[in-house]
Structure formats: structure tokens, C-alpha cells
Amino acid sequence: MRNDQLITAKQLSRGDIEDVLDRAAEFDADPSAFRDRHADAILGLLFFEPSTRTKMSFETAIKRIGGDTVDMGTVESSSVKKGESLADTARVIEGYADALVLRHPSQGAAKMVGEFVDVPLLNAGDGAGHHPTQTLLDLYTIRENAGLDDLTIGIMGDLKYGRTVHSLAHALTNFDADQHFVSPESLQLPRSVRYDLHESGAMVREHTELDDILPSLDVLYVTRIQRERFPDENEYQEIAGEYGIDLETLEPAKDDLTVMHPLPRVDEIAPEVDDTDYATYFEQAHNGVPVRMALLDQMLEDGQ
């Protein structure tokens, strides 16, 4: 796979991750210092699924390094509605842009598009597959709050359909991180993800309850139960509302526990947690800008 395409977190070595995070820290410290770094660069946005944080942070990131965006708009307002293929859409917008960002509901869509385009490509989420740019901002947030080595992290919620979880778990195998996965049995990690983690030398520790491991955690990464990923509405209703946390839940936790969430949340984290030192999920969302500035900077350099 080309080094100007980021399709899956499995591409990332420890060195790759640290390079991006170090560059992101520079952008974070003084964003205005880089406002002309990629003057006139155009980023093509191909979002086939709804997005708030990912799309807006990419738009902000490219503008803060001197560029701008072209946007295919919603599926309903684009030529996709007329039957245009994903490959053709990507090849058309490639002609207008210096780099592309793709979000698509089908797992493997970004890899397929990567075979048709010559400009840098960033996967912004492909179905229940991977979301590597989210992973990098997650790692940046973890590094800023708890460090990435000698780390004990609990990842809780929808581990079956949660692409942010799949990417993060893979990336953490590059560090001295003890990972615990908490979910109902019906939403445990897919077999393919467990296999890949084992192949990377990671110990996969699965739990159905948070209580047993909460006191040992440095980071608790909470995910929502993703209604849109469920093929069966009844299956969703049986699970919805489980595995939420509030202040009572967190009483046994370390004082310096970092609570994260990729957002949007529904009812997984009670609003009363927002004003505590535990809460870092809004900081996490804000970190999407410097991290994506760093990624775009790197990709645009590599693509020249």
C-alpha cells in the first residue's frame, strides 16, 4: 500500500504514530504558524455517511494549513443518486483535488478506491472496518493525559461494529498497553480482529462487566451502541442502554482516570461526568484538528 494512503490502522508502526503525534503537537502549540504551509491545496471530501466531527475537523485542518475543500455533498444531491459507481465518483473528484478523504458505509470501500486514484487518500471510516484518523487523535489524547506505555486501558461498549475500537486496538499493540475489552457477549470483538491482535502478540482480555477491572484502569474508552450497524432492530433494543457510566459507576476508579468517547454519545456517559476531571471526550474531539493537520501536511508532502 502506498505511503500517501492511510486505509487501516494496521499500516501504522510505532514510529509512524509518533511522527504524526509529534507533528500534531507542533500544530497544536501554534496553529497560526502554519497557515500558509499548503497554500491553495484542495481537499476533496467524499462522505457517503453522516459526519460532524470528522468532516468539520478535516475542513478546519486543511484551511488552517492554507488550503480549502471541495465537497461532493450528500448522496441524495450527488450523481451517486443517478447510479454513478464509487470508483467513478472518486476518479472524478480526484481531478479537482490534491487529496481525498472518504467515508463510506461499506467495509473495504477505502481500499478499493485506493486502487483507482493517484492522489493521497485518507479513510475516514469504512462501515464496521477501520477509522485510522480517529485512532491517531485518540492516541494523541491518551498520550497527553496518561502516556502510551505502561498503560492499562478498558474499551467498552459496541466492540463488534465499532470501527474506532478495531483501529485503536490494533494501534495500541505498538505500545506497552494492557487492553481489556468490555461488552455484552453479542457485541464482542469480531473473530478477525481478535486473530489479528493475537498475531500482533497482544493479549485479548474480554469481560462482560466493568466492575472487576475499573480500579486498575488508566483510561476508559466508551463507545455507543451503534443502532445503524444492527441488521436486526430487536437485537439493538435488547442491548440499548447497557454499559453506561455515571458518577456512581466511577467511584472505584483511580482519581486520574481518563474517560474517552469518540462521540456522538447517546446515553453511555451521564452529563454529570462532563464537569469532572475524568472527562476528556470534548478535548478528544478538539484534538482532531491538529492531528488531521499533521496527517494532511504529511500526505501532501508525500504526494508531491
Name beta bridge partners: 259. Answer: 220, 279
The catalytically annotated residue of 55, 104, 131, 166 is 131
Alpha carbon distance 61, 290 (integer Å): 7
Peptide bond into 105 cis (omega under 30): no
User: Is 82 marked active-site?
Assistant: yes
The catalytically annotated residue of 38, 55, 64, 103 is 103
The catalytically annotated residue of 53, 63, 111, 229 is 53
Nine cell digits for residue 19: 511522527
User: Is 180 marked active-site?
Assistant: no
User: Is 54 marked active-site?
Assistant: yes
The catalytically annotated residue of 8, 38, 54, 130 is 54
Mind telling me the catalytic residues? 53-54, 82, 103, 131
